[in-house]
Structure 1
Amino acid sequence: MDVVYINGYGFPIWRGGPMQYANMEGLEKVSNKIDEFAKNDPDFWSKAEIIEQLSKENGRFGEAPTKEERKEKLSFNQTSVAKNF
């Protein structure tokens, strides 16, 4: 997600993407900010369950799995081209 926002939407690269930025700011702060914005436009500013959960646990968004940890998730008998890289 961070890569898409940096490369596709112009999110500032020095912030590392929206998930990294949320980790740096703290998810409790992000959660509270969404609550503030929701006062003006609750239909637009709805909070994802994961943000609510992680903010209560003082958690963080995780890191992407390493190449060795990734598992193919294909539902048909065909291998992924990802193994070629």
Structure 2
Amino acid sequence: LSGRKILLFDEATANLDSHNERQIGDVLTNLRGNHTVLVVAHRLSTIMDADLIHVLEHGRLVASGQHHQLVEMSTIYRNLAKEQHLIYDSALA
């Protein structure tokens, strides 16, 4: 991986338990300093700390931003975050 400038991970944590997901997340975080890292994920915990998140719906870009921005401005992202227990209604008040 060290010789690559752009790395693409497509659902890299989809079938992992939370412990292994965290380990992969740590690796991705460490790679960000020296590489462009693109991560495709339905599990938002994998991408919450990304510099920039793009939200797609039916193959179309519908929102972009960081996690906290998307929770506020994107209904699709906010609903996914609620479903995955990453935010709660009381946190939005």
Q: Which bin holds the TM-score, normalised by the shorter protein? A: under 0.3
- The structure richer in helix per residue is 1
Query: Quick check: which has more Rg, 1 or 2?
Result: 1
Structure ranking higher in strand proportion: 2
Q: Give me the TM-score of the superposition, normalised by structure 2.
A: 0.26
Q: TM-score, normalised by structure 1?
A: 0.28
